[in-house]
Amino acid sequence: MTPASKPEFISPFHRQSDPVVPPPSAKNSPPQPTVPHLLPTSRLYWVLGLGLLIPLGLAWIPGEGIELGWAVMLLFDIVVLTVAWVDYLRSQRWDIQVTRQCDSRLSIGRDNPIHLTVTVGSGPGKARQARLKLRDSYPQDFQADQDLLILKIAPHTETDVTYHVFPPQRGAFQWQGVTLRLLSLQGLAWKAWQIPIETEVDVYPDLMGLRLLSVRLSLESAGGLRRRQRTLGGTEFAELQEYNRGDDLRLIDWKATARRGHPLVRVCEPERDQPLLILLDRGRLMTAQVAGLKRFDWALNATLSLAMAGLRRGDRVGVCVFDHDIHTWIPPQSGNSYLSRILEQVYNLEPVMTESDYVAVASRVLSQYTRRALVVLLTDIVDAIASSELLAAMARLSPRFLPFCVAFRDPLVDSQAHQSLALTSEANDIQIQRLYEQAVALDLLHQRSVAFAQLQQQGVLVLDAPAPSISEQLVDRYLLLKARNRL
């Protein structure tokens, strides 16, 4: 299923556990299931196949033994098919309803849970259990950990089953229905039908990661990790706390200690209200697929995570999305609510097949800001020659700002570069191909490391990490820079 029109923006910090509500016209008229039909089982085919033994068993009778055998086989098949039909009609007595619940806003690149509730009313009189197969019609572009759900049902029960979907792109998507197959009591036929349960969802950037990061930052600011904060230090006074073994003796406040009668230490926090500019590249290099997502999707997730961390630390965060020209410019502001505005303007952006103009965006930053700021560029680097314009642009930023270049490494290249190959005396084509792939991967990593070394020589901070873990590592580096007063 292709994505529909772009979803209307909804703040990601609303409750996410509410089920999708159908439109008003559908509330009083639940969707009607399709007409069920019979599907034969392998057991039925085996029983019918046994009927072929009847003519062979009666062939020894002289005269009309063969004709008698065929007549008996025909009668046998009629009886078997009649039993199968009656068995199928009995399965019609099962009263089965299925409902679907999921978040109305799914996260790209995450395993999002989808909950199905199977409610069984009445059943055949002597039936205690039955076998039911469910296949949910999730959007075609999604990946699911379970394509077929199998469960045992009994009359007057309710069963919950959960599977997970992995959306590879952002946009609006729709579920069409649930296909069910119910095995008859004698196991001779399947009752197959479909319940048209329509569910519309919007796929956003990694909202799950933002919620986890929000919890982590809240714990740190609430004091659960304040010991780490005291160790790294800061410039702004926060509070006084009792001295504990291992605290720096230079942090003891002697005047407060004299007044209270026991040692107290000063807790300092990093400086607040500092500018943080995030430059998000959406050019040609960001269209490549890495670990199931485009590089731009990984970069967008990292942008939002870094923006949340900056706003939670009291800094003024701005975002610039660019390709050959500046596409979106969000000026730096502070406040936790500012993240919703950033998300509203960037959540539906897509990369384009044009070359990025790094010098233009660097000139824009230099012309508008004179105060020292942390400038984070999220892009990709091939080698020093192909990325020469990028290296020149970052060098222009280094005298005035603290530039930080972030690149998204492909985990597949890492695995190919470091795979162990057992060479044999008889080299075959497969081994030669693997050796060639390993040599190319090692050369790619070497060229990237040369480019990053040139950036570091110019005073640029660098982060080259696998794309799936880039958000967490980028936030950690930012918090470390804040704690060490690098800004």
Give the CATH architecture of domain 1-22+30-204. Sandwich (2.60)
Q: What is the DSSP string of 101-148?
A: E--SEEETTS-EEEEEEEEE----TT---EEEEEEE---TT-EES-S-
What mean pLDDT comes out for the span 122-142?
A: 86
Instruction: Return the H-helix or E-strand segment holding 454.
Output: helix 429-457
Report residue 262 as tokens. Answer: 């026991």
**CATH 3.40.50.410 region(s) of the chain?**
275-483
Instruction: Return the H-helix or E-strand segment holding 284.
Output: none
What mean pLDDT comes out for the span 47-70?
A: 77
Q: What is the pLDDT of residues 321-333, one digit of tens each?
A: 999 999 999 999 9
Which pLDDT value is given to residue 18? Answer: 39
Confidence class for position 28, pLDDT limits 50, 70, 90? very low
Is pLDDT of 12 > 60? no
pTM of the full structure: 0.76
**CATH 2.60.40.10 region(s) of the chain?**
1-22+30-204
User: What does pLDDT average to over the chain?
Assistant: 83
Q: What is the pLDDT of residues 178-205, one digit of tens each?
A: 999 999 988 999 999 999 998 999 999 9
Between CA 331 and CA 354 the distance in angstroms is: 24
Is pLDDT of 485 > 90? no
Q: What is the pLDDT of residues 104-118, one digit of tens each?
A: 999 998 999 999 999
Is pLDDT of 10 > 50? no
What mean pLDDT comes out for the span 268-278?
A: 77
- The total of other beta-carbon atoms located within 10 Å of residue 456's CB is 12
Which pLDDT value is given to residue 19? Answer: 39
Q: What is the pLDDT of residues 403-431, one digit of tens each?
A: 999 999 988 888 888 887 665 555 577 77
Which pLDDT value is given to residue 17? Answer: 37
Comparing 153 with 8, the larger pLDDT belongs to 153
What's the one-letter identity of residue 204? Answer: Y
Q: What is the pLDDT of residues 358-401, one digit of tens each?
A: 999 999 899 888 888 999 999 999 888 888 899 999 989 988 89
Which pLDDT value is given to residue 379? Answer: 94
DSSP-assigned letter for residue 252: B
Cβ 409 vs Cβ 398: under 8 Å? no
Which pLDDT value is given to residue 229? Answer: 45
Nearest to 8 by CA among 245, 225, 201: 201
Is pLDDT of 227 > 90? no
Q: What percentage of residues in the chain have a pLDDT greater than 90?
A: 49
Which pLDDT value is given to residue 63? Answer: 63
Which pLDDT value is given to residue 234? Answer: 53
Between CA 382 and CA 442 the distance in angstroms is: 13
What mean pLDDT comes out for the span 62-73?
A: 76
DSSP-H helix ranges across 195-350: 207-222, 226-232, 254-260, 295-312, 338-346
Cβ 161 vs Cβ 145: under 8 Å? no
Cβ 32 vs Cβ 196: under 8 Å? yes
* Torsional class of 261: left (φ above 0), alpha (ψ -120 to 50), beta (otherwise): left
What mean pLDDT comes out for the span 106-134?
A: 88
Report residue 16 as tokens. Answer: 């996410």
- Weakest-pLDDT range from 24-33, 157-166, 271-280, 320-329: 24-33
Q: Which residue, chain included where needed, has tokens 């349960």?
A: 197
Give the CATH architecture of domain 275-483. 3-Layer(aba) Sandwich (3.40)
Which pLDDT value is given to residue 237? Answer: 56
